[in-house]
């Protein structure tokens, strides 16, 4: 049977207390009278106050970020630059030669 603990019962009138006991018994509870309510606190826990993260360093824009893509991966495109420089040079050279050859054929 579940218990309901009632503290400071001396302040209640006897008729009210008996009515409460009867109602609790009807509902399947046992009313237990206590002088003082015993509260068990959980073990101490250490709580830390969350501190805001340190401010981000200032990002200075490069003079011309697009032209610096070959030398350094610039932040404006993120990690989308994966083409190796040698492959890029080869394709540009091939296109230039093809363009030159097409000009002579006309």
The pLDDT of 63-89, averaged and rounded, is: 55
Contact call for residues 40 and 66 (beta carbons, < 8 A) = no
Domain that holds residue 29: 2-34
Is residue 57 a part of any domain in this protein?
no
Task: Provide the pLDDT confidence category of residue 65 given band limits of 50, 70 and 90.
Answer: low
Is residue 92 a part of any domain in this protein?
no
Is residue 46 a part of any domain in this protein?
no
The pLDDT of 42-51, averaged and rounded, is: 62
Is residue 13 a part of any domain in this protein?
yes
Cα gap 11→36, rounded to integer Å:
12
Distance of CA 78 to the CA centre of its chain: 23
Number of domains in the chain: 1
Q: What is the pTM of this model?
A: 0.32
Task: Provide the pLDDT confidence category of residue 74 given band limits of 50, 70 and 90.
Answer: very low
The pLDDT of 32-47, averaged and rounded, is: 68
Is residue 84 a part of any domain in this protein?
no
Is residue 27 a part of any domain in this protein?
yes
> What per-residue string of b and e applies to 26-47 under the rule 16 or more CB within 10 Å gives b?
eeeeebeeeeeeeeeeeeeeee
């Amino acid at each position: 049977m579940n218990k309901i603990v009632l503290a400071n019962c001396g302040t209640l009138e006897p008729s009210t207390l008996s009515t409460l006991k009867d109602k609790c018994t009807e509902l399947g509870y046992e009313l237990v009278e206590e002088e003082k309510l015993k509260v068990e606190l959980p073990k101490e826990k250490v709580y830390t106050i969350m501190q805001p993260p340190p401010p981000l360093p200032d990002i200075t824009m490069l003079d011309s970020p697009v032209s610096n893509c070959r030398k350094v991966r610039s932040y404006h495109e993120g990690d989308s630059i994966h083409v190796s420089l040698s492959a890029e040079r080869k394709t540009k050279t091939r296109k230039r030669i093809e363009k030159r050859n097409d000009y002579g054929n006309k």
